[in-house]
Homo-oligomer: A and B are copies of this chain.
Amino acid sequence: MKLPEKTVERLSVYRRTLLECLTKGKTHIYSHELARLHNITAVQVRRDLMLIGYSSMKKKGYDAHELVDVIGKLIDHKNGLNVAVIGMGNLGRAVTTYFTGKRPKLNIVATFDVDPNKTNRVISSVNCYHIKDIKDLIKTKKISIAIITSPPETTAIIAETLVAAGIKGILNFTTTPINVPESVFLEEFDMITSIEKVAYFVKDQVKS
């Protein structure tokens, strides 16, 4: 039985915080501390951890190392998953750089573009291939997730190609929403809409 999306998001964020605590030498953390760091309630934290079967809180708080492992066993794939980034403009490079080395169970194994100045090169420490080879490389490199950071007018055709090639999950960073079969997990983030939303909620505080 899969966890709710919001719970998975929070677990991912808790894990990152716990790893930071550990690098600073903090080995234990209380639910209220974890809550405060994430602007949520201690009740929510405890509920999330109970949902994943972790409710051990000793006098010193949760054992950070143990909790990182429990979360990892739950949200990561045992052997890791391979990821591709499609579109190596500024955004694609930013995503690839942001990612590389950050999560051991997620590897960006290839990037794709059409620009001859980018293809057959190493960009942000990852090989960049021509998009025409994407079907083969998805199979040979066992790529299960693709991040689309290409120009909006290319999004639809790229999504089609990915789905036909057997991609299991897509993170769409373009401003073009896409349609995929139910068997493909889709996450979309639209930067322009996000900023327009912020603008809508602040505009009344700004004099004309």
Contacts and interface: CB of A to CB of B under 8 A. Distances in A.
Interface of A: 2-3, 5, 8-9, 12-13, 16, 37-39, 75-79, 81, 83, 89-91, 93-95, 97-99, 102-103, 105-106, 124, 142, 144-145, 147, 168-171, 175, 177, 179, 183, 185, 187, 189-203, 205-206, 208
A174 to B, nearest CB: 10
Contact of A9 (B16, B197, B202, B206): B197
A137 B189 CA distance: 29
A194 B10 CA distance: 11
A201 B99 CA distance: 19
Given A3-B200, A81-B202, 16 more contacts: A2-B200, A9-B194, A81-B199, A81-B203, A90-B90, A90-B94, A91-B94, A95-B191, A99-B191, A99-B192, A144-B202, A168-B205, A169-B201, A171-B194, A171-B195, A187-B195
B197 A187 contact: yes
B2 A201 contact: yes
A203 B2 CA distance: 11
A169 B201 CA distance: 8
A192 B89 contact: no
Stoichiometry, copies per complex: 2
B199 A77 contact: yes
B208 A79 contact: yes
Contacts of A13: 177, 190, 193
A102 B37 CA distance: 35
B38 A202 contact: no
A201 B74 CA distance: 11
8 contacts: A9-B190, A12-B190, A99-B192, A106-B199, A144-B205, A144-B206, A185-B198, A189-B189
A2 to B, nearest CB: 7
